Chains A and B, each alone.
Chain A
Amino acid sequence: MKWVTCAAIVGLMSVGHSANADDKLTVYSYRQAFLVEPILTRFTEETGIGVNLVFAKDGIAERLAREGRLSPADLVLTSDFSRLVELVDKDLTSPVKNTQLESNIPAQYRDPDGQWYALTMRVRNLYTAKDRLGPQQITYEELADPKYKGKICTRSGKHPYNIALVASMIAHHGEAEAKTWLTGVKSNLARKPQGNDRAQVKAVKEGLCDIAIGNSYYYGNMMQDPEQKSWAEAVTINFPNQADRGAHVNVSGMVLTRHAPNKANAIKLMEFLSADVAQKAYADVNMEYPVKADVAPSTLVASWGEFKSDQLPIFKLAEYHQAAVKLLDEVQFDL
């Protein structure tokens, strides 16, 4: 029995050792590795600071909360706004006051207290079938119009992108009206919410539905994928609500964790991510809109034209996040 105990102790020590071995930064990312990795490699080349990138689809906030002061994470990258807010709400962030960050990122794209900083913007577009509907002056409100019965495809309502959209509807119209709207959208769905944003565009191409809800950058990404190009070509990208308040915008962003073991270097990385090189990379690699004012979107993205975005301050979305989740449950959107 003794050797078993010894082996266990040695095993544990080596595991613990490897977990703590280096002074590298650790980044927990909701954004996929292939997107972030090239930028981080540049950062390491320029500064000599190594970065461990770990990707997870779900549960980073829960994990950080549980790991508490023992967490190895310095920085969290999120792919949408609600997750930034979730981290702040759970008290998992450290405020950062930094002139470079503040000059790179316009005020509406960062927390007044420096708890979070946005990095890129994306529009929640409505894609329409090129051959059946063509370009449309469409609004989010119209998605509930019975004329689109059986014609709309979307991913799960509980996905952060959709939650943020519902939150913006609550912010503009109030909870009661938003509920009526959401019920209307649900009854217009061609199929039960499923798959990701690309899958909805694919469904339009296949003729399963005529309108797909999806983020802007997917359109650009699909254009560049040999397999998916035909999907994207079957649809038109529309910026909704151009006649009134403008299209719903979401942001990806970053936070410094509350217990970051390596704060100084982490802030260096934050600065790097908000600066020209990284911003340009986000724009070119993932077809997003950079937050830094003087960095232009990619030519492809620019070719979709100028658009008016919803001026609702982003942090307002946070206020209605929980309400939006509950609303989605109440109308049983996904069921």
Chain B
Amino acid sequence: MTNTLKLMQVHSDYQGQQVLKGLSLALEQGEILALLGPSGCGKTTLLRAVAGLQAISQGEIQINGRVVSGDSQFVPSEQRGIGMIFQDYALFPHLTVAENILFGVDKLSAGERQVRLDEMLTLVKLEGLAQRYPHELSGGQQQRVSIARALAYEPQLLLLDEPFSNIDAQVRYEMMAEIRSILKQRNVSAVFVTHSKDEAFVFADTLAIFNQGIIVQHGSAEALYAAPNSRYVADFLGSGNYLPAAVLDGHRVATPIGHLTSLTPLGLPSEFSGTVFLRPQQLTLSADEQGVGTITERRFLGAFCHYWVKIEAASHAYYVEVRSQMMQLTIGQKVGVTTEPHSLVLFES
């Protein structure tokens, strides 16, 4: 089975700066991929390269097995069969909702166009608004029109460029779930660019973390969260604590809070010494006068508390962030710190 989208060692320059530096990626039919990275890391450049709106200087891009950008090969945007959804929705202000949706299907007969229109309006739940102009719609409605317009064109691949950032936080996730189900229903592959991990988690099947022109890690959201392959990925997907760790054997490491045991084999040589990465919710606290830690700060957040705990080691003091459901601990109190059983993540120092 060919991939819907395949990028191989793609390089691209934008205004004299190398933005993509040998990027590789593959997307299955029907897969929704989130490209996640900070602003200015080249996510949009990548989308534009896929759409044929930006040249690549090296490498190859394939869509459904066909080379669209590559050595001496270039398929213009209008022949790539791609749909694109923009941050500003990019609705044509001079056309009605119906005209916008039917913009790309002008080769169909009038009857077929009507069928397509009705189908799309139903899909995005905008029945009855066909004759409105974009400025008469709310932001969410506009977004749905832009999706209907892209889908009406029946693209093989849908590209979404931060499509939800202009939508009110209240309805954003609801909207994302709605659109995700539309895409899934029609089995459309999509690449979704965002800088928000929360959006990526909600919307995408797989995540690709993007940094400085390359994909750092690519995989399911769970896999990436649980087993980041670098501190960059680990931090990007949520805060965490780093403590020095020395491998004792196949499952255990020694740390300032004591010996920790991994659920899965560490697969590291026994002389390895680095840091262990622990998410705040993977640590547990207990009131213990003999404990290694002292509470230095407490923040009540409703369902749980955030504690900052100072851990005195032989030569150094470490601070760790702990998310705990124990509400009664107070500042200055001595605590014991242990971990929930999980697969430990270790990085080189």
Asked if A and B form a direct contact in the complex, defined as CB atoms under 8 angstroms apart, the reply is no
Interfacial residues, chain B to chain A (CB-CB below 8 A): none
Name A residues whose Cβ lies closer than 8 Å to a Cβ of B: none
